[in-house]
Amino acid sequence: MDTTHVSNDKDTQILSHAIRLAIPNKGRIAEPIRDLIEKSGLGIVENSDRSLIVKTRDPHVEILYARPIDIPEYVATGVADLGITGHDMVVERGSEIIELLNLGFGRATVVLAVPEKSTYKTVTDLEGKRVSTEFPAITRKYFKKNGVKPIIVPVGGACEATPHLGISDAIVDLSSSGTTLRQNRLEVIDKVLETSTFLIGNKQSCLSKKEKIDEVHLALESVINARGKCYLMMNVERSGLDQIKDIIPGLSGPTVMEVASRPDMVAVHVVVDAEKVYQLINKVKQAGARDILVMSIERLIH
Ligand SMILES: Nc1ncnc2c1ncn2[C@@H]1O[C@H](COP(=O)(O)OP(=O)(O)OP(=O)(O)O)[C@@H](O)[C@H]1O
Ligand SMILES: O=P(O)(O)OC[C@H]1O[C@H](OP(=O)(O)OP(=O)(O)O)[C@H](O)[C@@H]1O
Ligand SMILES: [Mg+2]
């Protein structure tokens, strides 16, 4: 990225390590990404002119809004130092980037599907048949690996409608809940690729701007680490502490502290999986814990 564009700004004189992060301007993963950036503390400082490049609270990090499919190439060519987009987009573009962190959302599977009443049951049945897809590169590679030569029909969206329109015999498209396939009376006959959203980095920038990139990486990762975790606090009689310790599987064991003016009591603090909290609080209460507090965690740095 060319950093000269901000060289007049006094606050940002040492800009050799300034970075640009490309994120989707729209689509399914756009909102979760904006939410993640907000929670990470980086925060997007929107301006009213809806420009494609906006600032963050860190003067050394700016955001570039782009289409999810374009982000891998922007990162590979250094237009952006970092990007957030789907693994499927990276594979489709075949871009030379580093996948730095799996953000865990935008999970879906690229599948090969045919109409429920179709006589095609396996990939080999599709020799010479028409396969429509928004992922021509992934589809070509998949069929090549299977030694099958279909006619690939690239489409820009609503791929599931194409078999019924008589445009294709099969599709290669994304499925997550499976609703769209069901609505279009299509069934999966093979899985092509698993995908989720990733933080990706330009190879050169990952070396030359390592410090700043590590900072952004850590900030985003800390939000991901905290997802599905809760902070549990309780007071316990010192004599019952061992029993409580047996019940709670802490992150690295519970933290045990003195309770002022109550030498017979200790305070136990622990990070636990949110889905286990319901059962845990009943168990620790039965084991004598009281003043139990359950709190959400915003960020967690290991
Ligand atoms: N149903 C889904 N479940 C989970 N992730 C999905 C789903 N559909 C798309 N994605 C992921 O979202 C990312 C961006 O795709 P999306 O379809 O949102 O972009 P787009 O096609 O540019 O936007 P739009 O569909 O609004 O035109 C991709 O990496 C894709 O894997
Ligand atoms: O299994 P499901 O939960 O039904 O999700 C799958 C659908 O989600 C995506 O569509 P999107 O909304 O992005 O529209 P598009 O096909 O026009 O890109 C994808 O292309 C599928 O059509
Ligand atoms: Mg889409």
Ligand 1 nearest atom to the CA of residue 110, by list position: 31
Is 34 near ligand 1, meaning CB less than 6 Å away? no
What pLDDT shows up at residue 14? 45
Nearest CA to 75 out of 193, 224, 198 is that of: 198
Determine the Cα–Cα distance for residues 103 and 196; give it in Å rounded to an integer. Answer: 7
Question: pLDDT digits over 182-218, tens only?
Answer: 999 999 999 999 999 999 999 999 999 999 999 999 9
Q: Beta-carbon neighbour count of residue 245 at 10 Å? A: 17
Determine the Cα–Cα distance for residues 126 and 247; give it in Å rounded to an integer. Answer: 55
Residue ranges and CATH numbers for the domains of the chain are 4-105+197-226 (3.40.190.10), 108-195 (3.40.190.10), 229-296 (3.30.70.120)
Residue nearest to atom 15 of ligand 2 (CA): 157
∠ Cα 164 165 169 (to 5°): 60
**Predicted confidence band of residue 13 (pLDDT cuts 50, 70, 90):** very low
Q: Beta-carbon neighbour count of residue 267 at 10 Å? A: 17
Distance 136 CA to ligand 1 centre (A): 16
* Token digits of residue 256: 């045990």
Close Cβ partners of 225 (under 8 Å, ≥ 6 residues apart)? 299, 300, 301, 302
* Token digits of residue 228: 């599905």
What pLDDT shows up at residue 114? 98
* Token digits of residue 242: 């061992």
**Predicted confidence band of residue 16 (pLDDT cuts 50, 70, 90):** low
Is 70 near ligand 1, meaning CB less than 6 Å away? no
Question: pLDDT digits over 234-290, tens only?
Answer: 999 999 999 999 998 766 678 999 998 899 999 999 999 999 999 999 999 999 999
Per-residue pLDDT at 137 exceeds 90: yes
Is 156 near ligand 2, meaning CB less than 6 Å away? no
Sheet (strand 82-86) strand order: 44-45, 53-56, 61-66, 19-24, 82-86, 197-201, 98-102
**Predicted confidence band of residue 87 (pLDDT cuts 50, 70, 90):** very high
Distance 96 CA to ligand 1 centre (A): 21
* Token digits of residue 182: 């069901």
What are the φ/ψ torsions at residue 71 (nearest 5 degrees)? -60, -45
Residue nearest to atom 6 of ligand 2 (CA): 175
* 109 neighbors 194 (Cβ within 8 angstroms): yes
79: Cα separation from own chain's centroid: 22
Residue nearest to atom 12 of ligand 2 (CA): 28
Mean pLDDT of the chain: 93
Is 134 near ligand 1, meaning CB less than 6 Å away? no
Is 45 near ligand 2, meaning CB less than 6 Å away? no
* Token digits of residue 264: 């017979």
Determine the Cα–Cα distance for residues 249 and 245; give it in Å rounded to an integer. Answer: 8
Determine the Cα–Cα distance for residues 7 and 10; give it in Å rounded to an integer. Answer: 8
Is 175 near ligand 2, meaning CB less than 6 Å away? yes
Distance 122 CA to ligand 2 centre (A): 23
- Residue 165, SS3? coil
* 161 neighbors 186 (Cβ within 8 angstroms): no
What pLDDT shows up at residue 46? 81
- Residue 9, SS3? coil
What pLDDT shows up at residue 50? 74
Ligand 1 nearest atom to the CA of residue 134, by list position: 21
Average pLDDT on 155-167 reads 96
Mutation to probe ligand 1, out of 25, 26, 28, 174 (largest number of atoms < 8 A from CB): 28
What pLDDT shows up at residue 6? 45
